[in-house]
């Protein structure tokens, strides 16, 4: 069993219907799929990988050696206890937004990542239009919901992460299991160093590295908007003893002010008032809950935000 790999370019040809169906299946049965021929120039992807690697070496590697995770793990090993590190991740991460501080030392990093982010945002919007169509929603429905209207207010971020070699990979995760809070997530993962796994029918499955593919997964808000047709699914990153895994995840999330609820067309009439599985809430409130409960099941988050 492997995460579906879908040729996105076939949306524009004779195989459109088949490709739409593959994406519907990826959304409904998996919550994860990989896009190839997605239209992002390979040359740009190669530059992204290059600047990300240089950035880690130049601006992060030293910091990571002095990080809390490294200290916690070495303390644990020294104690010779049988415990594992349950509240830390073996990860180095920064987040790029349109309006925060970006690294300055690595040549080409800022220009390359700005260009990459612009491309990825367009791809996210295309993927959302496919979801609209597959769900029977009007074109642009999901985008508008995440933007809280017609403006460009979605929260679009890019996490540049590295998972350095770990001396005791059995004692800590690269990133603990969670579902993503937001909308659509687009990941450029390492060409060789694996470690990302998703939970499928109770089993952890590798999201196999496939050079220059973009891995798509759906977050909690797509689950709500689709009234549960598209489930956000659990995933995690294993730590590895050798290899430094690069992972660049961009997320197209709602604006903090956007109100999120199931699309009325997707809610059965008799469920419209009572029995609704998913609440209606403001995304900023959801994120307050998520900040405390990221590594816990999502259902209590929906409950907590319903009560707010």
Which residues contact Fe ion (rule: CB under 5 A)?
180
CB 237, min distance to Fe ion, A: 9
CA–CA dist 11, 22 (Å, integer): 10
CB closer to Fe ion, 132 vs 180:
180
Q: Which is nearer to Fe ion, 22 or 232 (CB)?
A: 232
CB of 196 to Fe ion, least distance (A): 9
Rounded CA-CA distance 232/217 in Å is 7
Q: Which is nearer to Fe ion, 137 or 186 (CB)?
A: 186
Distance of CA 274 to the CA centre of its chain: 31
CB of 161 to Fe ion, least distance (A): 10
Specify the residue, 19 or 34, whose C-beta has the smaller distance to Fe ion: 34
Backbone angles phi and psi of 7, in degrees to 5: -85, 105
Q: Measured between alpha carbons, how far is 218 from 185 in angstroms, rounded to an integer?
A: 6
Spatial distance between the Cα atoms of 44 and 271, rounded to a whole number of angstroms: 47
Give 148-162 as a 3 state SS string. Answer: CCCCCCCEEEEEEEE
Taking the complex as a whole, the smallest distance from the CB of residue 156 to Fe ion amounts, in Å, to 16
Q: Write out the H or E segment, with its range, that includes residue 73.
A: helix 68-79
Closer CB to Fe ion, 106 or 217, in the complex: 217
For Fe ion, the closer CB: 180 or 223: 180
What is the closest distance, in whole angstroms, from the C-beta atom of residue 253 to Fe ion in the complex? Answer: 12
Q: Where do the DSSP E strands lie in the chain?
A: 5-7, 32-36, 92-96, 155-163, 173-178, 184-189, 196-200, 203-206, 214-218, 235-238, 245-253, 259-260, 281-282
Q: Are strands 32-36 and 5-7 parallel, antiparallel or unpaired?
A: parallel
Min dist CB 219 to Fe ion, Å, is 8
Identity of the residue, 128 or 249, whose beta carbon is nearer to Fe ion in the bound complex: 249
Q: Which residue is nearest to Fe ion (CB)?
A: 180
Shortest distance (Å) from residue 90 CB to Fe ion: 15
Minimum CB separation of residue 133 from Fe ion in Å reads 26
Rounded Cα–Cα distance for residues 96 and 108 (Å): 15
The per-residue DSSP string of 94-120 comes to EEE-TTS----SSTTHHHHHHHHHHHH
User: Counting Cβ atoms within 10 Å, is residue 308 exposed (0-12), middle (13-18) or buried (19+)?
Assistant: exposed
Nearer to Fe ion, 140 or 209 (CB): 209
């Amino acid at each position: 069993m492997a995460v579906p790999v879908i040729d996105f370019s076939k949306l524009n040809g004779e195989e459109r219907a088949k490709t739409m169906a593959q994406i519907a299946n990826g959304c409904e049965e998996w919550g994860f799929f990989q896009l190839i021929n997605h239209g992002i120039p390979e040359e740009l992807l190669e530059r992204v990988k290059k600047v990300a690697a240089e950035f880690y070496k130049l601006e992060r590697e030293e910091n990571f050696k002095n990080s809390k995770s490294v200290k916690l793990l070495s303390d644990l090993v020294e104690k010779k206890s049988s415990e594992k590190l349950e509240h830390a991740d073996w990860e180095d991460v920064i987040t790029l937004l349109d309006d925060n501080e970006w690294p300055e030392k690595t040549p080409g990093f800022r220009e390359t990542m700005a260009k990459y982010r612009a491309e990825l945002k367009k791809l996210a919007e295309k993927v959302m239009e496919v979801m609209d169509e597959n769900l029977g929603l009007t074109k642009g429905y999901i985008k508008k919901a995440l933007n809280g209207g017609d403006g460009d207010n979605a929260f679009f971020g890019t996490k540049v992460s590295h998972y350095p070699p770990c001396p005791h990979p059995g004692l800590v995760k690269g990133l603990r299991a969670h579902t993503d809070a937001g909308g659509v997530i687009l990941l450029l993962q390492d060409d060789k160093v694996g470690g990302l796994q998703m939970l499928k029918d109770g089993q952890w499955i590798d999201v196999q590295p496939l050079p220059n593919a973009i891995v798509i997964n759906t977050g909690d808000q797509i689950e709500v908007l689709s009234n549960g047709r598209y489930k956000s699914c659990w995933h995690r990153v294993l730590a590895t003893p050798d290899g430094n895994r690069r992972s660049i995840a961009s997320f197209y999330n709602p604006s903090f002010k956007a109100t999120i609820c199931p699309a009325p067309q997707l809610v059965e009439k008799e469920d419209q008032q009572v029995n609704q599985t998913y609440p209606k809430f403001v995304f900023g409130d959801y994120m307050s809950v998520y900040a405390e409960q990221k590594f816990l099941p999502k259902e209590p988050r929906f409950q907590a935000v319903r009560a707010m």
